[in-house]
Amino acid sequence: MADPEHPQIYLVTPPAFDLSSFGKDLEAVLDAVPVACLRLALASHDEDRIARAADLCREITHARDVAMVIGNHVLLAERLGLDGVHLSDPHGVRAARKTLGEEAIVGLHAGTSRHEGMNGGEAGADYVCFGPVGAAALGDGALAERELFDWWSKMIELPVVAEGALDEALIRDLAPVSDFFAFGEEVWSADDPVARIKTFHATMIA
């Protein structure tokens, strides 16, 4: 899953988006740089809305051989024909693996906790995501420091993802110790998402 030479891009959708316009933005970004995976991360709990968004994104990603996962909705991942699920609780990893099968992607967001990340890996996660790595308005203010990524990259074989309030300086600093960078609002909030993702990609592989 990981490129030993350079980190890869893991794209995250906005928490809400207009179905009529987001598809074109997503296509443009996916066509601009290599992307390994897209996570559907809607804040909505409306299953119909989630399903329609998933159908839109799945058609676009799978046409480009980009994997697609969904945040926390294990049963929807299976029903909607997605590649897997991204969980925020390590206790759900084993059950998700059992439900979705060995071929599915099961990822875990472990916040800033090395312990939760290791528990998730032992339970069968395919990758562990730590973050936020930059100062963000959300959360309790705790950051996933470079030391955590450095330790993980040396001690644990499981791919590690850096996420949350990323900028070019953080990307430069974390590139040697991260397998993936998860970009969400950093890209979609930009006036030109394509230009922003190209800048991030160039920084990652510099």
Taking only the tens place, the pLDDT of each residue in 128-148 is 999 999 987 666 789 999 999
What average pLDDT does this structure show over 192-198?
98
The verdict on residue 129 lying in a domain is yes
In a domain, 46, yes or no: yes
Query: What CATH number is attached to the domain comprising 94?
Result: 3.20.20.70
Lowest mean pLDDT among 54-68, 75-89, 135-149, 182-196: 135-149
- CA nearest neighbour of 125 among 160, 154, 79, 164: 160
Q: Is residue 96 within 8 Å of 86, Cβ to Cβ?
A: no
| Confidence at residue 26, expressed as pLDDT on a 0 to 100 scale | 98
Q: Is 3 inside any structural domain?
A: no
Please compute the mean of the pLDDT values over residues 179-201 and round it to a whole number. Answer: 98
pLDDT 10s digits, 2-43 = 445 899 999 999 999 999 999 999 999 999 999 999 999 999
State how far the Cα of 183 lies from the Cα of 132, in Å rounded to an integer. 11
Q: Identify the domain containing residue 83 by its residue range.
A: 8-205
Please report, rounded to a whole number, the percentage of residues in the chain having pLDDT higher than 90: 94
How far apart, in whole angstroms, are the C-alpha atoms of residue 168 and residue 48? 37
What contacts 31, CB < 8 A, 6 or more positions away? 64
The mean pLDDT value for 164-174 works out to: 97
- What is the DSSP secondary structure assignment for residue 90, as one 8-state letter? G
- pLDDT of 1 reads 42
Kindly state whether residue 59 falls inside one of the protein's structural domains: yes
Q: How many residues does the chain have?
A: 206
What are 189-195's contacts with CB under 8 Å, separation 24+?
A: 193/25, 193/28, 193/29, 194/28, 194/29, 194/32
Is 1 a member of any domain? no
Q: Phi and psi at residue 40, in whole multiples of 5°?
A: -80, 115
Question: What pLDDT, on a 0 to 100 scale, did the predictor assign at position 138?
Answer: 61
Closest CA to 123 of 93, 151, 100: 93
Q: Which amino acid is at 139?
A: G
Number of domains making up the chain: 1
Average model confidence (pLDDT) across the chain: 95
Whole-prediction pTM: 0.95
